[in-house]
Amino acid sequence: MTREDPDFVHKLVFLGDTEVGKTSLVQRYVYDSFSPEIGRTIGAMLHVKTVELNGVRHKLVVWDLGGQESFTELREQYCSHASGAFFVFDRTRVDTLEHIDDWLNALYSAAGKVAVVVVENKIDLESVISDEQIHEAIETRSLKLIQTSATENKNVDTAFEELVKEISVANPEN
């Protein structure tokens, strides 16, 4: 094995309704860029980034799924063999949080009970969702919350590091 080889490879999937900012978060993390004009994702896009955390090299294969309803049938297929997932909601649209179980059920039925980090995106904008509602949603499901802004590059790296950490804790040898 050369120094360039990763120690672990993880498939990470982005889940969440259309326009919550999934592609913007991926662009920010993988390419360190932000474009307000990216447009809706059609089907799924794949991105790869290798990171070193605590001396361990992780190759992240990031799957960015279009959030449109018409892709419902594709979700399970794309979620299969995922090591972990982000569920992203948009703090300016309460329905994006209310749909959490639609996404998690598709994930869990395809990939089993894998690690999930909940991402509250667009923290540069005013929230229309109460803290109670958010905490109720994450605590009843024992999930971790990270608040991000893809626009302002806030906490985006942290969200990925948190998910890798959760995956590593859940599966110490892969």
Ligand X SMILES: Nc1nc2c(ncn2[C@@H]2O[C@H](COP(=O)(O)OP(=O)(O)OP(=O)(O)O)[C@@H](O)[C@H]2O)c(=O)[nH]1
Q: Which residues of the shown chain bind ligand X in the complex (CB under 6 A)?
A: 16, 18-24, 36, 38, 40-41, 66-68, 121-122, 124-125, 149-151
Cβ–Cβ contacts within 10 Å for residue 69, how many? 9
Q: How many CB atoms lie within 10 A of CB 153?
A: 14
Q: Which residue's CB is nearer to ligand X, number 156 or number 167? A: 156
Residue 163, classed as helix, strand or coil, is helix
Shortest Cβ distance from residue 14 to ligand X (Å)? 8
Residue 12 contacts which entry, Mg ion, ligand X, none (Cβ below 5-8 A, type-dependent): none
Question: Among Mg ion, ligand X, none, what binds residue 121 when CB lies within 5 to 8 Å by partner kind?
Answer: ligand X
- From ligand X, Mg ion, none, interface partner of 84 (C-beta below 5 to 8 A by class): none
User: To the nearest whole angstrom, how small is the minimum distance from the Cβ of residue 127 to ligand X?
Assistant: 12
Find which of Mg ion, ligand X, none residue 168 binds, CB within 5 to 8 Å per kind. none
Residue closest to 94 by CA, chosen among 66, 136, 65: 136
Give the DSSP letter string of 10-51. Answer: EEEEEE--TTSSHHHHHHHHHHS---TT--PPPSEEEEEEEE
Task: Output the 3-class SS for 122-139.
Answer: CCCCCCCCCHHHHHHHHH
Rounded least distance, CB 146 to ligand X, Å: 12
Contacts of 41 (CB under 8 A, 6+ apart): 22, 23, 64, 65, 66, 67
Nearest approach, Cβ of residue 33 and ligand X (Å):
12
Nearer Cβ to Mg ion (23/83) = 23
C-beta of residue 147 within 8 angstroms of C-beta of residue 123: yes
Query: What does 24 interact with, of Mg ion, ligand X, none (CB < 5 to 8 A by kind)?
Result: ligand X
Closer by beta carbon to ligand X, 156 or else 164: 156
